[in-house]
Structure 1
Amino acid sequence: MIKYQETLKNIHTQLGHGGDLPVFSATLNRIQELSRSPESDAMVLAMAVMKDANLSAKLLRIANTPEFNRGMGNVTVISRAVVLLGFNRIKNLCISLKLIESFTEAYPDSNIEKLLLRAFLNASMARELAAKAGVRDIEETFLCGLLFNLGEIIIASTMPAVYQEMCLARIAGDKSWSSIQLATLGGQFSDIGQDLAQSWGFPPSVVKTMDEMTAEESDHLVHKQHLLVSFSHTLIEKIYGELNHEQSMEHLSSALRDDFSLQDQDVESCFEDACKLSANMVEEYGIDLKGLVPAMQETGEPRLDECIRRTAYFFHSRNQLVESESTGVKAPKKRDESPGKQLYFLNRLAELTAEKGSAHDILSLVVEGIKACTSYERVMFCLYRQSPLMLGMKIAEGDSLESLEQFFTPQRKESDLRLFYHVIKKEMTLLVSDLNEPGWKERLPAAFIKEVGPSGMVIAPVVIRGKAIGLFYADRVDKPLEDKDFTCFNQFVIQSKIALSHKA
């Protein structure tokens, strides 16, 4: 447990140095919230996307490829792309684009492109299989596939030397890949991926799909999504020769036939479509397609050998076409340096955890740190009680706190706090960068807007080992929130949960 906590601490320290991380902040948080709302229309979602000019341009180019745009005419505006492709498809494309962009720019020397590209290939394959199998929410299956190996991507990017040693140990073949993860990190890649995905606000159903044990303990849909995503992941690993799996292609295919009535030709068709989608994504970022060309090998399984040969031929041919067109490569973006003040507070938090400081001291330090390291004007921690149901301001920093203190009281009507209770129940961070964006004022409690009056706000629940203890809240009154502040806020929240979990 201690080794795992140390691993998480190292990850979050490194994430603080990567200026664009966490990946799923700002634009993506807004897109996820808007796409969940039945009141949102195409223009509202389009406006959220268009706030990121780079994302908008790439999204339009992807939307006009043959794999996405099948006889719908040239798509020139984001709002039309949303209408034609759908909210969830647009959301997943945005997440995929940002995943590749943020990691390659924040960690240009980590050589993780192949993991990112195979994550997208896995997501595309899982989505195509889900569509063939008649799964209700194929876009959520895509998201499950994209995040399935998030833990490995995180370790490879933030702890490259450790990851390289792990890979060398795997090649030596003395221990299983699972044993190497446990011995080196104190946990599995899936544990790390789940912790981060949950802290970045992804739905519990997606988070649970990332691990076999949590998927088996969940409802039928989550379990089915896990089976599809796990099959796709295993197939891709076999094709790229990363691991030697005891299960043969025939055994894997038999499981798909039994569970989903999918035949061999269905699987082959899905994989071909996934390869085409992945090639489009890779070309958009100027990343070398050679990372998707598998090494030729003789596995003793004729079907697998044929699949490897066809995959190598497709990506090699596509790469030659790209090189002949001399497409430019996007220059890496300069990293932002993590503020020394933030590291100072995080180190104090680590020391307090080691000294077994009280929960109150930990929460007070986190509130103080968020206020000191961001441009948020008001920061607070609210204590949550289930019986009787209430939220009360416990710790706060900033000016003009009276309105917050008066709003978050035991006497407050439950209807006024329903949004905040919902955030705690769903265990998902809510970021509202700008309340003037269409739709937000209609969705937020009228009493809260009138009495507290933020221009932008962020809410993060604090749930420790299944027990909700409260939430962090931060806002600005004079202007909308900035992306960099959310990154800092999120890191403090994650570290507070680690500290409180260590104490529990």
Structure 2
Amino acid sequence: ARSTDVFSVGMTLYELLTGQPAVAGGNVFEVLHKIANQPFRAPSTRNSEVTEELDQIVMRALAKNPAERYADAQEMRRALAHHCRPSEDDATTQPSSDGSGAIEFLLNRMRHKSGFPALSGTISAINRVTAGPEQSVQALSEVLLKDFALTNKLLRMVNSTGYGHFGGTISTISRAVLILGFNAVRDMAITLVLFDHLHNKGQATKLREEVIHSLFTGIIARSLARNAGVRDAEEGFICGVFRGLGRLLAGFYLYDESLEVTRRIQHSALGEEAASKAVLGASYSEIGAAVARSWNLPPGIIAAMRPLEAEPPVKPENAQERLRLVAALAEAVSDAACAGSAPQRDKQLAAIARRFGAAIPIDEKKLLATANESVQQLLDDAAHLLGDSRTSRFCQGLRQTAGAAAADAMPDADTLERVIEQTTRIAASVAEAHEQEPAQVLAAGIQDITNSLVDNVNLSDLLRIILETMYRGMGFTRVILFMRDPRAFTLTARFGYGQDLDRIVGRLSLPFGRSQDVFSVCLAKNVDLLITDIEAPNIRARIPEWFRKASLGQTFVLLPIVLDNKPIGLFYGEKPLADELTVEAREMNLLKTLRNQAVLALRQRR
């Protein structure tokens, strides 16, 4: 395949630039495992003379997802030729006066920056998963579970105070989708990917402030959306966050120009839209909308980035216009909340209430209450997502604006600093809880499943939660649920998480009862088995030929599902290398409990 050829060239170029391979291992299986599961270090981390653009070329060629690589060798060759002999036009060409030309000029500059293709690829992959059929929930979970750091951050976010009204603790992506909704989880994931990309990078301080500002705007928008009767308040949150996408991206990829935009705003009568257009040839909102379209974000989010045409704003005629109005109102309230003093804030909120009053039922008192409530939510979410935010100027601005009212607005807290300190400490403990030992993750999943059983969740969703708990808890490379085919004496792979499932789910069948292989014995005798090495002398002959042809793991665990003495299914979890999978006694007991929960669910629904 062309994408494989590009990957091979990328590997060769990596070694030429650094003097060492991109990945090393003791044997072929270890190397393949690292290629599939571990991120590559940029060549510049091993050779400081490698430029940022060359880094980007190599890393794009080595992308895990073939769709994110160069389309073919010719495209990669052009990128290398451009790097070696950049055209004079690149240095001298300026954006045209035409808005679309300016946007394309800026987007091309961003595409050549390190990290932007990977960011775009990740967000596009998440967003390609659309709500609807069962398979979409499975597909979204698969995309998110490939990134354990993203999964943990997402679970911390759904368990934060902003979602406390749902009740209980959520420990799996599958249950998060069931409780919060498909779109809410997908949009949160996109937000986290963006924030993580911008956090702790160059120009970190300025970007951190912009990220916190965007997060605060989203929190306010969610509250306003609920009050405005928006059907899905989480859409308000994502629209509020992405309202400032153009500003965020400019601060990261077009840093010098973003500083000039800020300077013009401070020293002239220009607003942000006019100042950014004067400096860049396209406004921040136009840049944000263009990037959002390239990421295939929903039309409602893209529309929410545009400025309001009518002044004063008019009553929205449809749901999309309502979301756009809510996002614009949230942005104005966010700015007012850090105006510098309580009188200035109140004056701005009164002006905002008058400006938006004809379009949305709001008054100064409600806006003030929304702003004060959102401060506490911001502190909690900022601590969960960004760590210690005590040094944030934006948060300091909120404190200065709130003044003595901060303590009244936030009971159980003496000062804003104390709240930040408390939430940071809580976030640290939550982070530790989500970097748990396998037994802790399994136990949390069991509680999730118990709650789902009480809620009478759909059987397929329940089985996915069980699979996800096993996958995350044990760190399996692949976990599969086989279910009996009533038309044949076989079990067929029905669901799974992990690598290369397209060739397995719905295609791989497990015959049993006709031989003494480990699978048939496991099912016939209803025993749980841990096979540490399929090539061990006492095991080799018990490994069936169909298994070897399927190129599955060298070590695995089997948990049969038996109802009324009849085997109807099997949980299979594997790792690629012999002796790589170890299962402690407590972990095995918890895996058995998960299997027993599946048996109970199947029995209840017979």
Q: Which interval holds the TM-score relative to the shorter structure? A: 0.5 to 0.7
Aligned to 2:420: 319
Aligned to 1:25: 121
- Please state how far the C-alpha of 1:142 moved relative to its aligned partner: 2.1
Aligned to 2:391: 290
Distance 2:104 2:321 in 1: 27
Q: Which one of the candidate residues 201, 215, 222 is aligned to 1:127?
A: 222
Q: Which one of the candidate residues 378, 381, 394 is aligned to 1:278?
A: 378
Distance 1:440 1:266 in 2: 54
**Conserved 8 A contact 1:23-1:103:** no
Distance 1:439 1:268 in 2: 53
- Please state how far the C-alpha of 1:271 moved relative to its aligned partner: 3.1
- Please state how far the C-alpha of 1:24 moved relative to its aligned partner: 4.6
Distance 1:29 1:305 in 2: 45
2:245 equivalent to 1:142: no
Go from structure 1 to structure 2 and tell me whether the alpha carbon gap of 1:324 and 1:7 turns closer, same or farther (over 3 Å shift): same
Matches within 5 A, 1:34-433: 34-40=129-135, 42-70=137-165, 72-107=167-202, 109=204, 111-173=206-268, 175-212=270-307, 220-241=318-339, 248-284=348-384, 285-291=386-392, 292-295=394-397, 315-321=416-422, 327=428
- Please state how far the C-alpha of 1:64 moved relative to its aligned partner: 2.3
- Please state how far the C-alpha of 1:293 moved relative to its aligned partner: 1.6
- Please state how far the C-alpha of 1:309 moved relative to its aligned partner: 9.7
- Please state how far the C-alpha of 1:6 moved relative to its aligned partner: 5.2
CA deviations 1:314-364 (Å, max 9, x no partner) are: 653332335668959x9xxxxxxxxxxxxxxxxxxxxxxxxxxxxxxxxxx
With structure 2 as the length reference, what TM-score do the two structures score? Answer: 0.47
Aligned residue for 1:112, secondary structure, equals: helix
The code of the aligned residue for 2:96 comes to I
Go from structure 1 to structure 2 and tell me whether the alpha carbon gap of 1:60 and 1:214 turns closer, same or farther (over 3 Å shift): same
The code of the aligned residue for 1:182 comes to K
The code of the aligned residue for 1:230 comes to A
Go from structure 1 to structure 2 and tell me whether the alpha carbon gap of 1:24 and 1:246 turns closer, same or farther (over 3 Å shift): farther
Identify the structure with bigger relative contact order (alpha carbons < 8 Å, sequence gap 6+). Answer: 1
Quote the RMSD (CA, aligned, Å): 4.2
**Conserved 8 A contact 1:289-1:315:** no
**Conserved 8 A contact 1:24-1:98:** no
- Please state how far the C-alpha of 1:119 moved relative to its aligned partner: 0.9
**Conserved 8 A contact 1:125-1:274:** yes
Go from structure 1 to structure 2 and tell me whether the alpha carbon gap of 1:86 and 1:8 turns closer, same or farther (over 3 Å shift): same
- Please state how far the C-alpha of 1:160 moved relative to its aligned partner: 1.5
Go from structure 1 to structure 2 and tell me whether the alpha carbon gap of 1:159 and 1:42 turns closer, same or farther (over 3 Å shift): closer
Go from structure 1 to structure 2 and tell me whether the alpha carbon gap of 1:298 and 1:315 turns closer, same or farther (over 3 Å shift): closer
- Please state how far the C-alpha of 1:169 moved relative to its aligned partner: 2.6
Aligned to 2:18: none
CA deviations 1:254-290 (Å, max 9, x no partner) are: 4555433235554344334433443233223325243
Which structure 2 residue ranges, 5 or more long, are not aligned?
1-94, 432-498, 508-606
- Please state how far the C-alpha of 1:75 moved relative to its aligned partner: 2.1
- Please state how far the C-alpha of 1:90 moved relative to its aligned partner: 1.1
Q: How many residues matched?
A: 334
Which structure 1 residue ranges, 5 or more long, are not aligned?
331-432, 442-504
The code of the aligned residue for 2:318 comes to H
Q: Which one of the candidate residues 96, 104, 124 is aligned to 1:2?
A: 96
2:108 equivalent to 1:12: yes
Percent identity of the aligned residues? 19
**Conserved 8 A contact 1:130-1:138:** yes
**Conserved 8 A contact 2:240-2:327:** yes
